[in-house]
């Protein structure tokens, strides 16, 4: 007996979706359905009819009665126009590199469905409903990550979505890669035939960069909160002055995110009636709200860019049922999405640098307020043969260096291509991929730092630390034991990173 599906339904076509909606669809926590509103469905149907009328009238419509890209000067007759969509899908089957994981692939399907549901792309309701079916049944295209320059949209990666619709190439199903037709059959779906303009409508959009950008945004926001938790713990175990986070300081230079970060840190510090160990801490503690605050202030801005991109229509040409006009333009250019992810790359990579420097303060006996060098817990005669967090500090430094290297903006590396038709491109998809990679690296730096902080709590004694510090320490120690002597710690890092990704660390709610 089947159980009732209690997931919330996100209607497409009338109401804007949020970053969180995209993430929930990507992770299977919500379902997508074309809005039942009659006006939404009328617009979709009329836009598709406009394609058919243009064929019958012999009107010049890019990609319908002409070739693609620099081949737009070539006229395509009605009798061969039907073969164009499949040819387009097939010749763009030249992606390279690793496949996007299923969650990322699902985000791509979701974002493309949102854009096409606006009813100006010339696709049938049947195609939109099939995209929702793919999401719902988790039949997802296997999309190679490389091959998009981010203008004319994400042509090559999106060709793998179009190929799945027609039953070609490969698909993810239940964590397994299968031939597309086999996966469709197992899910009770049949391939569909792409009509004129539909192949172009699926391929020609900023979907991959926007989808991956939403996933990077969610991870970036979470890392900002974790950086506040880590900073408060570092200040606590290093006996630092709580006055660094006094609200009056941030009232006097009131960047909202900076002030919010200070508030989060201050709320997690223990009350201390005595004098602090030092007048001032190094910048990685004292200026942490100023570093984290840049990310916090970038989040609303980048959210707006990404949500506009997701909810906008990014293919070409557009068939507007409200005016009856066929509009030839360039909404497929991904500059705004690229700005969002280039910005996230910068601010998140700076978190890695911040946390790496805090870890160095913990490990160095010159700065760690009496803790053992490298946080070595061994106290016997053989204590000098153990190295504690020395290797962990090296790894954190390496991860940080890689994150900082990837933070260079992708948008400035535009390259002319396709017979100089695509002569200025956004590189937005490269930026979005790099943003996710930076998030992955910084999550690992944060996990290493958190393990170091909990080791410091063990060495200080939990009773000597504040309540919020002990709360995190208890959560971590429920999964990973104290380092009592030299041993491998790579599995510890991934365990804590898993807790972070699963929301199992106590670090406050999003703003």
- Catalytic (active-site) positions: 62
- 91 closest CA partner among 68, 122, 75: 68
Gap between the Cα atoms of 446 and 269, Å rounded: 19
Size (the chain), residues: 511
Contact of 458 with 448, CB cutoff 8 Å: no
Q: Do the strands 176-179 and 170-173 form a parallel or antiparallel pair, or are they unpaired?
A: antiparallel
Contact of 319 with 51, CB cutoff 8 Å: yes
Q: State the sign of the Cα–Cα–Cα–Cα dihedral 19, 21, 24, 28.
A: negative
Gap between the Cα atoms of 442 and 436, Å rounded: 10
Q: What is the DSSP string of 348-360?
A: HHHHHHHHHHHHH
- Which helix (H) or strand (E) element contains residue 438? helix 428-460
- 319 closest CA partner among 405, 502, 435, 196: 196
Q: How far is CA 185 from CA 162, 179, 191, in A?
A: 17, 10, 9
Using DSSP's 3-state secondary structure scheme, residue 490 falls into helix
Gap between the Cα atoms of 509 and 147, Å rounded: 37
| Ramachandran bin of 211, using left for φ above 0, alpha for ψ from -120 to 50, beta for the remaining angles | alpha
- Which helix (H) or strand (E) element contains residue 258? helix 256-267
- 292 closest CA partner among 399, 341, 220: 220
Distance of alpha carbon 449 from its chain centroid, rounded? 22
Using DSSP's 3-state secondary structure scheme, residue 75 falls into strand
Q: How far is CA 264 from CA 228, 438, 501, in A?
A: 6, 24, 20
- 17 closest CA partner among 341, 321, 429, 312: 312
Distance of alpha carbon 175 from its chain centroid, rounded? 20
424: phi then psi, degrees, rounded to nearest 5: -140, 115
Q: How far is CA 345 from CA 3, 98, 219, 302, in A?
A: 42, 21, 11, 11
């Amino acid at each position: 007996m089947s159980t009732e599906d209690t997931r919330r339904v996100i209607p497409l076509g009338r109401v804007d979706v949020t970053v969180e909606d995209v993430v929930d669809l990507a992770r299977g926590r919500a379902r997508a359905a074309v809005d039942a509103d009659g006006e939404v469905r009328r617009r979709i149907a009329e836009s598709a009819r406009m394609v058919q009328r243009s064929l019958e009238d012999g009107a010049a419509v890019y990609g319908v009665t002409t070739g693609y890209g620099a081949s737009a000067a070539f006229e395509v007759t009605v009798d061969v126009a039907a073969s164009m969509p499949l040819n387009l899908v097939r010749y763009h089957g030249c992606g390279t590199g690793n496949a996007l994981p299923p969650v990322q692939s699902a985000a791509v399907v979701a974002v493309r469905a949102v854009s096409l549901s606006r009813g100006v792309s010339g696709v049938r309701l049947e195609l939109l409903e099939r995209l929702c079916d793919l999401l719902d049944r988790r039949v997802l295209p296997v999309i190679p990550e490389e091959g998009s320059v981010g203008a004319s949209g994400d042509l090559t990666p999106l060709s793998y979505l179009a190929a799945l619709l027609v039953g070609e190439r490969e698909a993810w199903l239940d964590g397994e890669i299968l031939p597309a037709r086999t996966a469709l059959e197992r899910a009770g779906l049949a391939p569909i035939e792409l009509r004129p303009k539909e192949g172009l409508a699926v391929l020609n959009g900023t979907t991959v960069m926007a989808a991956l950008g939403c996933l990077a945004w969610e991870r970036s926001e979470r890392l900002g909160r974790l950086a506040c938790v880590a900073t408060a713990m570092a200040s606590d175990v290093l006996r630092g002055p709580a006055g660094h986070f006094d609200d009056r300081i941030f009232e006097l230079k009131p960047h909202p995110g900076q002030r919010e970060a200070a508030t989060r840190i201050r709320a997690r510090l223990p009350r201390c009636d005595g004098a602090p160990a030092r007048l001032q801490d190094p910048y990685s503690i004292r200026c942490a709200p100023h570093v984290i605050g840049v990310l916090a202030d970038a989040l609303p801005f980048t959210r707006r860019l990404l949500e506009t991109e997701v909810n906008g229509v990014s293919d070409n040409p557009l068939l507007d049922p409200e005016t009856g006009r066929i509009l030839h333009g360039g909404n497929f250019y991904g500059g705004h999405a690229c700005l969002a992810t280039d910005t996230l790359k910068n601010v998140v990579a700076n978190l890695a640098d911040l946390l790496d420097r805090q870890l160095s303060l913990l490990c160095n006996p010159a700065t760690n307020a009496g803790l053992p060098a490298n946080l070595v817990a061994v106290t016997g005669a053989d204590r000098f043969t153990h190295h504690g967090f020395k290797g962990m500090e090296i790894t954190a430094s390496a991860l940080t260096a890689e994150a900082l290297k990837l933070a260079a903006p992708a948008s400035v590396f535009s390259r002319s291509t396709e017979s100089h038709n695509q002569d200025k491109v956004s590189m937005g998809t490269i930026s979005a991929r790099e943003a996710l990679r930076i998030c992955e690296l910084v999550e690992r730096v944060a996990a290493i730092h958190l393990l170091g902080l909990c080791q410091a709590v063990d060495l200080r004694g939990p009773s000597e630390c504040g309540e919020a510090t002990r709360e995190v320490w208890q959560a971590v120690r429920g999964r990973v034991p104290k380092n009592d002597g030299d041993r491998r710690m790579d599995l510890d890092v991934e365990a804590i990173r898993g807790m972070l990704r699963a929301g199992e660390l106590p670090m406050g709610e999003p703003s």
